[in-house]
Amino acid sequence: MDKHQIPTVSLGISRRIFLYRSAMILGSGLLAGSAFAAKQGCRPTESDILGPFYRFDAPFHARLASPDEPGDRLVLTGTVFSSDCRTPLPGALIEVWQANHAGLYDTNKPGNFTEASTFHLRGKLYTNEKGQYEIETIMPGRYPVPPNLLGLEKYAGLTRPAHIHFRVMESLHVPVTTQLYFKGDPFIANDPWAGHKPSLAIDLKQDGKLRRGIFDVVLARGF
Ligand SMILES: [Fe+2]
Protein backbone atom coordinates (compact mmCIF):
# COMPACT_ATOMS: atom_id res chain seq x y z
CA MET A 1 0.00 0.00 0.00
CA ASP A 2 1.28 3.43 -0.90
CA LYS A 3 2.33 5.24 2.27
CA HIS A 4 -0.22 7.94 1.54
CA GLN A 5 -3.06 5.62 0.64
CA ILE A 6 -6.11 5.89 2.83
CA PRO A 7 -6.49 2.56 4.65
CA THR A 8 -9.65 0.58 4.77
CA VAL A 9 -10.43 -1.21 8.01
CA SER A 10 -9.92 -4.96 7.92
CA LEU A 11 -12.86 -7.29 8.19
CA GLY A 12 -13.79 -9.15 11.38
CA ILE A 13 -15.07 -6.92 14.15
CA SER A 14 -15.15 -3.95 11.82
CA ARG A 15 -17.15 -6.02 9.35
CA ARG A 16 -19.71 -6.74 12.02
CA ILE A 17 -19.84 -3.06 12.94
CA PHE A 18 -20.36 -2.24 9.30
CA LEU A 19 -23.18 -4.76 8.96
CA TYR A 20 -24.73 -3.44 12.14
CA ARG A 21 -24.54 0.14 10.94
CA SER A 22 -25.86 -0.84 7.54
CA ALA A 23 -28.79 -2.54 9.19
CA MET A 24 -29.44 0.59 11.19
CA ILE A 25 -29.44 2.71 8.08
CA LEU A 26 -31.78 0.35 6.31
CA GLY A 27 -34.03 0.10 9.36
CA SER A 28 -36.27 2.77 10.76
CA GLY A 29 -35.00 6.29 10.88
CA LEU A 30 -35.95 6.49 14.53
CA LEU A 31 -33.71 3.59 15.53
CA ALA A 32 -30.87 4.82 13.38
CA GLY A 33 -31.24 8.24 14.87
CA SER A 34 -31.10 6.90 18.41
CA ALA A 35 -27.85 5.07 17.77
CA PHE A 36 -26.39 8.05 15.98
CA ALA A 37 -27.36 10.41 18.79
CA ALA A 38 -25.74 8.18 21.39
CA LYS A 39 -22.54 7.81 19.40
CA GLN A 40 -22.09 11.42 18.36
CA GLY A 41 -23.35 13.20 21.44
CA CYS A 42 -25.93 14.76 19.15
CA ARG A 43 -24.58 17.94 17.67
CA PRO A 44 -25.27 19.56 14.32
CA THR A 45 -22.78 18.54 11.67
CA GLU A 46 -19.78 20.82 11.73
CA SER A 47 -19.53 23.27 8.90
CA ASP A 48 -16.54 23.81 6.67
CA ILE A 49 -15.61 26.25 3.92
CA LEU A 50 -17.41 26.15 0.59
CA GLY A 51 -14.04 26.12 -1.12
CA PRO A 52 -13.09 27.69 -4.45
CA PHE A 53 -14.36 24.84 -6.61
CA TYR A 54 -18.07 24.94 -5.83
CA ARG A 55 -20.28 25.42 -8.85
CA PHE A 56 -23.93 26.30 -8.73
CA ASP A 57 -26.71 24.13 -10.18
CA ALA A 58 -25.08 20.78 -10.77
CA PRO A 59 -27.47 18.22 -12.30
CA PHE A 60 -29.67 15.85 -10.33
CA HIS A 61 -28.10 12.42 -10.06
CA ALA A 62 -26.77 10.16 -7.34
CA ARG A 63 -24.19 8.40 -9.49
CA LEU A 64 -21.51 11.03 -9.76
CA ALA A 65 -19.02 8.74 -11.45
CA SER A 66 -19.76 6.73 -14.57
CA PRO A 67 -18.60 3.09 -14.56
CA ASP A 68 -15.49 3.98 -16.56
CA GLU A 69 -14.40 6.82 -14.28
CA PRO A 70 -10.81 6.08 -13.12
CA GLY A 71 -10.38 5.54 -9.41
CA ASP A 72 -11.50 3.34 -6.55
CA ARG A 73 -15.27 3.00 -6.47
CA LEU A 74 -16.91 4.52 -3.40
CA VAL A 75 -20.48 4.28 -2.17
CA LEU A 76 -21.58 6.76 0.46
CA THR A 77 -24.82 6.31 2.36
CA GLY A 78 -26.32 8.26 5.19
CA THR A 79 -29.32 9.89 6.75
CA VAL A 80 -30.06 13.57 7.20
CA PHE A 81 -31.48 14.21 10.67
CA SER A 82 -33.03 17.12 12.47
CA SER A 83 -31.23 18.62 15.47
CA ASP A 84 -32.44 15.85 17.82
CA CYS A 85 -30.38 13.37 15.78
CA ARG A 86 -33.48 11.16 15.66
CA THR A 87 -35.94 12.70 13.28
CA PRO A 88 -35.04 11.94 9.67
CA LEU A 89 -35.54 14.68 7.13
CA PRO A 90 -37.16 13.54 3.89
CA GLY A 91 -36.70 15.82 0.94
CA ALA A 92 -33.47 17.38 2.16
CA LEU A 93 -31.45 18.65 -0.78
CA ILE A 94 -27.85 17.46 -0.91
CA GLU A 95 -25.28 19.02 -3.20
CA VAL A 96 -22.03 17.13 -3.54
CA TRP A 97 -18.84 17.83 -5.49
CA GLN A 98 -15.31 16.49 -5.56
CA ALA A 99 -12.02 16.17 -7.40
CA ASN A 100 -11.27 13.20 -9.66
CA HIS A 101 -8.81 10.47 -8.70
CA ALA A 102 -5.91 12.70 -9.79
CA GLY A 103 -7.04 15.61 -7.61
CA LEU A 104 -8.49 17.68 -10.46
CA TYR A 105 -11.86 19.41 -10.49
CA ASP A 106 -13.87 20.00 -13.65
CA THR A 107 -12.94 23.67 -13.52
CA ASN A 108 -9.72 25.61 -13.52
CA LYS A 109 -11.45 28.83 -12.58
CA PRO A 110 -11.49 28.80 -8.80
CA GLY A 111 -14.13 31.04 -7.28
CA ASN A 112 -16.25 31.15 -10.42
CA PHE A 113 -19.35 29.56 -8.92
CA THR A 114 -21.56 30.12 -11.94
CA GLU A 115 -19.18 28.97 -14.63
CA ALA A 116 -21.20 27.26 -17.36
CA SER A 117 -19.60 24.13 -18.70
CA THR A 118 -20.02 20.38 -18.37
CA PHE A 119 -20.42 19.24 -14.79
CA HIS A 120 -18.26 16.32 -13.77
CA LEU A 121 -18.21 14.55 -10.40
CA ARG A 122 -20.90 16.88 -9.11
CA GLY A 123 -24.55 16.42 -8.48
CA LYS A 124 -27.51 17.07 -6.29
CA LEU A 125 -30.15 14.74 -4.90
CA TYR A 126 -32.97 14.62 -2.38
CA THR A 127 -33.15 12.33 0.61
CA ASN A 128 -35.89 9.69 0.43
CA GLU A 129 -38.92 9.36 2.72
CA LYS A 130 -36.64 8.06 5.49
CA GLY A 131 -34.19 10.90 5.13
CA GLN A 132 -31.66 8.59 3.51
CA TYR A 133 -29.37 9.06 0.55
CA GLU A 134 -26.87 7.00 -1.41
CA ILE A 135 -24.14 8.35 -3.67
CA GLU A 136 -21.99 6.29 -6.01
CA THR A 137 -18.69 7.86 -6.90
CA ILE A 138 -14.93 7.32 -6.76
CA MET A 139 -12.34 8.16 -4.14
CA PRO A 140 -11.26 11.76 -4.66
CA GLY A 141 -7.60 12.52 -5.18
CA ARG A 142 -5.71 14.96 -3.03
CA TYR A 143 -4.67 18.29 -4.48
CA PRO A 144 -2.55 21.24 -3.45
CA VAL A 145 -4.16 24.56 -2.57
CA PRO A 146 -3.71 26.65 -5.75
CA PRO A 147 -1.46 29.69 -5.62
CA ASN A 148 -2.78 33.24 -5.54
CA LEU A 149 -6.18 32.43 -4.08
CA LEU A 150 -7.36 35.49 -2.24
CA GLY A 151 -7.25 34.80 1.48
CA LEU A 152 -5.50 31.45 1.08
CA GLU A 153 -2.10 32.69 -0.07
CA LYS A 154 -0.29 31.30 2.96
CA TYR A 155 -1.65 27.81 2.24
CA ALA A 156 -0.61 27.73 -1.42
CA GLY A 157 0.92 24.37 -2.27
CA LEU A 158 -0.35 22.67 0.87
CA THR A 159 -1.71 19.22 -0.02
CA ARG A 160 -5.25 18.86 1.20
CA PRO A 161 -6.49 15.51 2.49
CA ALA A 162 -8.89 13.62 0.24
CA HIS A 163 -12.34 15.09 0.70
CA ILE A 164 -15.81 15.40 -0.72
CA HIS A 165 -17.77 18.62 -0.41
CA PHE A 166 -21.37 18.65 0.79
CA ARG A 167 -24.03 21.31 1.06
CA VAL A 168 -27.25 20.14 2.72
CA MET A 169 -30.45 22.11 3.12
CA GLU A 170 -34.01 21.60 4.24
CA SER A 171 -36.74 24.18 4.49
CA LEU A 172 -37.05 24.40 8.29
CA HIS A 173 -33.39 23.96 9.13
CA VAL A 174 -30.15 25.86 8.84
CA PRO A 175 -28.22 24.70 5.76
CA VAL A 176 -24.78 23.29 6.33
CA THR A 177 -21.78 23.44 4.03
CA THR A 178 -19.13 20.94 4.96
CA GLN A 179 -16.44 18.54 3.79
CA LEU A 180 -16.20 14.81 4.32
CA TYR A 181 -12.78 13.32 5.11
CA PHE A 182 -11.49 9.78 5.54
CA LYS A 183 -9.93 8.46 8.71
CA GLY A 184 -6.32 7.42 8.34
CA ASP A 185 -5.51 10.09 5.78
CA PRO A 186 -2.06 11.35 6.85
CA PHE A 187 -2.80 14.79 5.40
CA ILE A 188 -5.63 15.50 7.83
CA ALA A 189 -3.41 16.42 10.76
CA ASN A 190 -1.84 19.48 9.15
CA ASP A 191 -4.85 20.60 7.18
CA PRO A 192 -6.16 23.93 8.48
CA TRP A 193 -9.76 22.74 7.92
CA ALA A 194 -9.85 18.99 8.56
CA GLY A 195 -7.24 19.05 11.29
CA HIS A 196 -9.61 20.45 13.89
CA LYS A 197 -12.78 18.62 12.88
CA PRO A 198 -12.41 14.92 13.56
CA SER A 199 -16.17 14.46 13.46
CA LEU A 200 -16.05 14.98 9.69
CA ALA A 201 -13.77 11.99 9.06
CA ILE A 202 -15.40 8.61 8.47
CA ASP A 203 -14.18 5.04 8.29
CA LEU A 204 -14.31 3.17 5.01
CA LYS A 205 -14.98 -0.52 4.64
CA GLN A 206 -13.94 -2.65 1.71
CA ASP A 207 -16.87 -4.55 0.22
CA GLY A 208 -15.63 -6.52 -2.76
CA LYS A 209 -14.45 -3.94 -5.26
CA LEU A 210 -16.28 -1.13 -3.46
CA ARG A 211 -15.37 1.05 -0.57
CA ARG A 212 -18.34 1.96 1.56
CA GLY A 213 -18.77 4.76 4.02
CA ILE A 214 -21.60 6.16 6.11
CA PHE A 215 -21.94 9.89 6.55
CA ASP A 216 -24.95 11.07 8.54
CA VAL A 217 -25.76 14.76 8.63
CA VAL A 218 -27.52 16.65 11.42
CA LEU A 219 -29.07 20.03 10.65
CA ALA A 220 -29.81 22.64 13.29
CA ARG A 221 -33.43 23.69 13.51
CA GLY A 222 -33.99 27.19 12.26
CA PHE A 223 -36.51 28.20 14.94
FE1 LIG B 1 -12.10 20.57 -2.50
* d(CA 135, ligand 1 centre) in Å: 17
Query: Could you tell me if residue 107 is inside a domain?
Result: yes
* d(CA 189, ligand 1 centre) in Å: 16
Query: Could you tell me if residue 37 is inside a domain?
Result: yes
Neighbouring residues of 145: CB distance < 8 A, sequence distance ≥ 6? 152, 155, 156, 157, 158, 160
The pLDDT, as a whole number, for residue 27 is 45
Mean pLDDT of 97-103: 98
* d(CA 200, ligand 1 centre) in Å: 14
The total number of structural domains in the chain stands at 1
* d(CA 68, ligand 1 centre) in Å: 22
Mean pLDDT of 25-46: 63
Q: What is the CA radius of gyration of the chain?
A: 17
Query: Could you tell me if residue 142 is inside a domain?
Result: yes
* d(CA 51, ligand 1 centre) in Å: 6
**Structural domain for 202, as ranges:** 13-218
CATH of residue 148's domain is: 2.60.130.10
Closest CA relative to residue 215, chosen from 132, 106, 124, 123: 132
Closest CA relative to residue 44, chosen from 168, 217, 222: 217
Query: Could you tell me if residue 223 is inside a domain?
Result: no
Query: Could you tell me if residue 2 is inside a domain?
Result: no
> Each residue of 48-72: pLDDT tens digit?
999 999 999 999 999 999 999 999 9
Phi, psi at 168, each rounded to 5° = -125, 135
